[in-house]
Amino acid sequence: MVVKKVTKKKAIRKKSAPKVSKKINKKPIKKVVKKPNPKRRPTRAIRMARATKRKIRIVLNNILFFAVAMLIFLLLYSASGSVIYQNLFMLLTICAGVIVLAFLIVLLIFMLLRLLNK
């Protein structure tokens, strides 16, 4: 009599692999190549108009700032009791006023240039 060895087969669990979709693309993906668009530079007149608008805005902001500063210095001049402070605030008021006048002249020049270009 022949004795057979009986071996038990152990169930080996396989680790589950991540699911991969098996969709097949019928059409290959084509790379989209954008054609370089030639950038059109604005004409000289348009560039100058933009530049003058920007400069006019800067000049107006400076006029407003120094006008407010001049009014504050004038109020401080009238409120101060000491002669030294009165002289100081009067000097600052005059300086701010001269700067405002200079910016007004620059603003008038820009306005004239803008009118002449049209």
| Residue pLDDT tens, the chain, 118 long | 565 565 655 556 656 666 666 656 566 666 777 777 777 777 766 766 677 788 899 999 999 999 999 999 999 999 998 999 999 999 999 999 999 999 999 999 988 988 887 6
Token pair listed for 95: 């300086």
Domain assignment present for residue 72? The answer is: yes
| Nearest 10 degrees: Cα torsion 109, 113, 116, 117 | -170
Burial degree of 59 (CB within 10 A; 0-12, 13-18, 19+): buried
Tell me which residue range forms the domain holding 110: 45-117
Domain assignment present for residue 109? The answer is: yes
Q: Phi first, then psi: what are they for 8, rounded to 5°?
A: -90, 130
Domain assignment present for residue 12? The answer is: no
Contacts of 4 by beta carbon, 8 Å cutoff, 6+ apart: none
Domain assignment present for residue 112? The answer is: yes
Q: What is the pLDDT of residue 62?
A: 96
How many separate domains does the chain show? Answer: 1
pTM value is: 0.59
